[in-house]
Amino acid sequence: MIGVAVGLAFLPRMTIPQRILRTVSETGRVLFVHESLSQRIRFATGGATAGLVAEVERLGAARVMLIAAPAVAELADLMTSGLPIVLRHDQVVMHVPLEVAEKARGGHRA
C-alpha cells in the first residue's frame, strides 16, 4: 500500500529555483518533481489530479492510503475518485505526534 497526501501547498517565492520561476512567468504554471530518499513530491499548478493518477500508476499501486485533513476532504475526494483508496486518515497535524503516526501506520492492517 502507498500513502498519498492531499493538501494545499504554499511555497515562498525564494524556495523555487530560478529556472522554474522563469517557466511560471512564461506559462503561468509551476511544474516540478522533487525526490529524496524517503519521498517524491510532484507539484503541478492545475495538474495535481492528473499527476496523482500518474504517480499511482507509476508505482503500480493496487491499494492506496489517503491522508487528507477534514478541511480538504472534498478536494481529496475529487482528486482521488477512481483510485483504489483502501484507507483514509484525517488526523492531520503539523509535526505529527508519535501516537497519531502509529495509529495511521496501524490502519493498513485493518
Q: What is the pLDDT of residues 57-106, one digit of tens each?
A: 988 989 998 888 888 888 889 889 999 999 888 888 777 788 888 888 77
Domain count, the chain: 1
**Under DSSP, is residue 15 helix (H, G, I), strand (E, B) or coil?**
helix
Using a 10 angstrom Cβ sphere, with 0-12 exposed, 13-18 middle and 19 or more buried, the burial of residue 80 is: buried
**Under DSSP, is residue 68 helix (H, G, I), strand (E, B) or coil?**
strand
Q: What is the pLDDT of residues 15-73, one digit of tens each?
A: 555 555 555 555 666 677 777 777 777 777 778 888 888 888 988 989 998 888 888 88
The pTM of the full predicted model, rounded to 2 decimals, is 0.62
Residue 2 pLDDT > 80? no
Residue with cell 502507498: 2
CA–CA dist 1, 59 (Å, integer): 10
Supply the range of the domain harboring residue 34. Answer: 2-109
